[in-house]
Amino acid sequence: MKSMRLIPAFLLALAIASCGYRFQADPGSRFADPSLRVDLRPFANASVVPDAGAFLAGQLREEFRRAGFRGVYERMGADYLVEGVVKEIREDVISHGSDDLALEHRLTLVVNVRVAQAVQGRLLWKEEGMVEAASYFAGADFQYTESNRRAAIEEVCKRMARRISQTVRVIL
């Protein structure tokens, strides 16, 4: 009877392993090497949202750690340079109420990113115009609307950081 209880757990573990899902970077990957040094400063911010570049870079560092990065972030002696620009954070009204007031907004983040070898300056990856978007609800209460707006900014930055992290993990 005890072995019957272990069968579902074994099948679940087998299914997770067979689909390619990983909890962290491969042990042999350069991304997981503790001696790896990455220069990842706050992204430049050309948007109207204060500290958007710094917030995105912070989310990217967090996403790197989640993905198995074991190196250090330092400018001097860095092996790789990860830099970017928050080009724009745009907000559009996507629905109105019967009173013609905005009910829902779509917040769109546009980012340029570049990864290069620090010493040789060899460009490894560059992408311009990466876009992530999230919707948020608005109301008559300013605090409600602003709270939802901040949550949308956080969400698009997390999504963007995840996309960038996945690509960086592959190229390193």
Percentage above 90 pLDDT, the chain: 77
Band (1; pLDDT cuts 50, 70, 90): low
DSSP code of 158?
H
Contact 157, 59 (CB under 8 A): yes
Give pLDDT tens digits for 137-155: 999 999 999 999 999 999 9
Q: What's residue 14's pLDDT?
A: 54
Amino acid letter, residue 91: E
Structural domain boundaries, residue 57: 23-171
Give pLDDT tens digits for 26-76: 556 788 899 999 999 999 999 999 999 999 999 999 999 999 999 999 999
- The overall average pLDDT reported for the chain is 89
Residue 48: inside a domain, yes or no? Answer: yes
What's the CA gap between 114 and 164, in Å, rounded? 10
Residue 12: inside a domain, yes or no? Answer: no
Whether residue 8 is predicted with pLDDT greater than 70 in this model: the reply is no
Residue 2: inside a domain, yes or no? Answer: no
CATH code of the domain containing 146:
3.30.160.150
Residue 72: inside a domain, yes or no? Answer: yes
CA 23 remoteness from chain centre: 17
Band (100; pLDDT cuts 50, 70, 90): confident
Rg (CA), the chain: 20
Contact 53, 157 (CB under 8 A): no
Q: What's residue 3's pLDDT?
A: 57
Band (5; pLDDT cuts 50, 70, 90): low
What's the CA gap between 134 and 157, in Å, rounded? 10
Amino acid letter, residue 15: A
Residue 13: inside a domain, yes or no? Answer: no
Residue 90: inside a domain, yes or no? Answer: yes
Residue 3: inside a domain, yes or no? Answer: no
Residue 68 in tokens: 């198995």
pTM of the predicted structure, to 2 decimals: 0.81
Mean pLDDT on 72-92: 97
How many separate domains does the chain show?
A: 1
